[in-house]
């Protein structure tokens, strides 16, 4: 399968995560965050993984957002 890898950088140009295709065991798109190596969900489509990255991860640290941070973000839109 032809696939691409999206690399996310923070403001300091440090790599914080990748969205990449993983064909081990159950094929799917996954988020590989340096700060959250135990995050193991897979997604059927690349855009689904990217949406979860944008909604649930802090773009500066690569860590999962807390429930209060998610609530603040939902009110920002």
- Tens of pLDDT, residue by residue, the chain (77 residues): 556 899 999 999 999 999 999 988 889 999 999 999 999 999 999 999 999 999 999 999 999 998 655 555 555 55
Read off the pTM: 0.79
Measured torsion, CA atoms of residues 45, 77, 69, 60, in degrees rounded to the nearest 10: 60
Rounded to whole angstroms, how far apart are CA atoms 38 and 3? Answer: 23
């Amino acid at each position: 399968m032809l696939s691409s890898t999206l690399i996310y950088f923070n403001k300091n140009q440090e790599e914080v995560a990748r969205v990449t295709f993983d064909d081990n065991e159950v094929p799917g798109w996954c988020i590989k965050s340096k700060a959250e190596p135990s995050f193991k969900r897979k997604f059927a489509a690349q855009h689904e993984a990217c949406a979860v990255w944008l909604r649930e991860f802090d773009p500066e640290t690569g860590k999962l957002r807390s429930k209060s941070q998610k609530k603040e973000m939902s009110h920002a839109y």
